[in-house]
Amino acid sequence: MNRNDFEILNNNLIYLDNGATTLKPKVVVNSINNYLTKYSANAHRGDYDISFKVDTLYEGARDTVKEFLNASRREEIVFTSGATASINMIVDGYFKNTLKKGDEVLITKVEHASNVLPWFRLSKELGIVVKYIELDSNNEVTIDNLKKSITPNTKVISLAHITNTLGDIRPIKEITKLAHENNILVVVDGAQSVPHIKIDVKDLDIDFLAFSAHKMLATTGLGILYGKYDLLNNLKPTFLGGGMNESFDDVDKVFLKELPTRLEAGTQSIEAVLSLDAAIKYINSIGIDNITKHEQDLKEYAINKLKSIPHIKLYNKNTTSGIILFNVEGIFSQDVAYYLNKYNICIRAGNHCAKLLKDVINTNQTCRASLYLYNTHEEIDKLVELLSDKERILKEMI
C-alpha cells in the first residue's frame, strides 16, 4: 500500500522491523520540515504570528489524537516523550500515590520492559506485589485465567494490548469489564496496537493508555499518555517547570495549571507533535481497518509459507497481528538477521526487551519480522525464499 509515499523504499529496502519503529511518509517529513523552516517558534509562548501558528497546530494535534482514540475530552491527551515515559508517569504519578503495601498488580511474562520495571520498582518501594497472569497453551491471556488471578487485593491490571513478541491481541474490552466489576484499574500499553488496529478508549473503557508516535509513522521523541479525566487529574506531575505552573511565590504557594498542560512541563518536541498530526491524518486517509486487514493478510500468507519449511520454528502461528516470531533451528538469531541484511532485509534479533518471555517460550532469543502497511507479498516471498535454504544461510551468514 502507498509505497510511493515512503522515499526510503526507493532503495529496495525490505523493512520488516516495524515493531521497533516505522518508516515515515512524505507528509510526515514535510510537516517537520515546515516547522523547522517556516515557523520554528515555541508553543504557548510569544505573542507573534508564527508562535500563534505553532500553538494552534500543536493544540490541533491534540484534537487529532483525541478523535483518533475517540476520547471524551481533549484534556485527556498528554504529550510525553514516549510510551516508556507515559507508563512511568502512570506508575509513579498515579499508582505510587494510591497503592499501598500488599496491593497486587497483574501483568504477564510477555510484557515489554517498560511495563515491567516500573512495577518492579514500585514493588520495592511500596511493597506492592507483582503477579503474573497465567497464560493458556497459546501463551495468551484468557478471561478465565484472569478471573483466577484476581484476588481482593488486586488493584491494577497492566497489559500490552498487542505484545511486541507474540503479537497476540488481548481482549481488552472483556478485561476492563471484569476489572471494573472488581474495582480494578486497567493500564493498557498500546505501543503495538494503536498504530495497527482501531482503538476506541471509550468503547474499550480503558483507564490509562500509553503509546509512541514513532511506531505509527511519526518521528521519535513523542509518546501519548491517555487517562480518563478524573484519574489523570489525580496524576502527580513527575516534572515541574515552565508552562505547567499558574503561579508561584514561595514553597507553599505553587499553583499548577489544569490538564493537560500541567503534565507537559518544559518545551515538548513540537516537531514530533506536528508529525504525529500528519501521521494520524495519513492513517485516517487510508483507514486503520484497511491497514489491519492488510497486515492480517500478509501475516497469514507468510505463516502459510513459513510453516512448511522444516528448519523454521514459529512461535506465534495463531496470532493475527503482523508480528512473526521465529528461529532457524540451530542458527543463532543474530546470524539470521545479519544474513538477511545482506539482502537489504531488516528484521530484529534478540529478546525484544521482553526478558521474562524466555520462561514462556523456552528460548531467550528469536527473530522477529513485523509488518506494516507498506509491506508486500513480494517482500514476504523474498524472505521465505532466503529462509528456505538452510545451507545457504550457513554459508552466507558470516
Partner 1 sequence: MDEETRREIIMSNYMQPVGKKDTPKDTSNYKMVNSKNDSCIDNLDIYVDIKDGVIKDIFFNGEACAISTSSTSIMINELIGKTTKEAINYINNFESMINEKEYNKEILGESLAYEEIYKQGNRKHCAHLPYIGLKKVIEEYEETNN
How many whole angstroms separate alpha carbon 380 and alpha carbon 14?
A: 9
- Residue 349 interacts with, from partner 1, ligand PLP, none (CB under 5-8 Å by kind): partner 1
Cell of 73: 475530552
How many whole angstroms separate alpha carbon 362 and alpha carbon 357?
A: 8
Q: Binding residue for ligand PLP (CB under 6 A) from 192, 219, 316, 327?
A: 192
Q: Binding residue for ligand PLP (CB under 6 A) from 114, 269, 321, 366?
A: 114
Q: Which is nearer to ligand PLP, 191 or 345 (CB)?
A: 191
Q: Cβ atoms within 10 A of the Cβ of 335, count?
A: 17
Residue with cell 474490552: 173
Residue span binding ligand PLP (CB under 6 A) among the ranges 6-14, 120-128, 187-195, 305-313:
187-195
297 close to 360: Cβ distance less than 8 angstroms: no
73 close to 233: Cβ distance less than 8 angstroms: no
Cell of 63: 484534537
- Residue 394 interacts with, from partner 1, ligand PLP, none (CB under 5-8 Å by kind): partner 1
How many whole angstroms separate alpha carbon 276 and alpha carbon 33?
A: 13
- Residue 212 interacts with, from partner 1, ligand PLP, none (CB under 5-8 Å by kind): ligand PLP
Least Å distance, CB 387 to partner 1, is: 17
Least Å distance, CB 292 to partner 1, is: 31
Transcribe 186-248 into DSSP letters.
Answer: EEEE-TTTTTTS---HHHHT-SEEEEEGGGGTS-SS-EEEEE-HHHHTTPPPS---TTTEEEE
Least Å distance, CB 190 to ligand PLP, is: 8
Residue 367 annotated in active site? no
- Residue 114 interacts with, from ligand PLP, partner 1, none (CB under 5-8 Å by kind): ligand PLP
316 lies in the binding site for ligand PLP (CB under 6 A): no
Transcribe 244-257 into DSSP letters.
Answer: TEEEEEETTEEEE-
- Residue 160 interacts with, from partner 1, ligand PLP, none (CB under 5-8 Å by kind): ligand PLP
Provide the mask over 153-182, with x wherever binding to ligand PLP is found by CB under 6 A and - wherever it is not.
-------x---x------------------
352 close to 368: Cβ distance less than 8 angstroms: yes
Catalytic residues: 353
Name the residues that contact ligand PLP, by CB under 6 A: 19, 82-84, 112, 114, 160, 164, 189, 191-192, 212, 223, 353
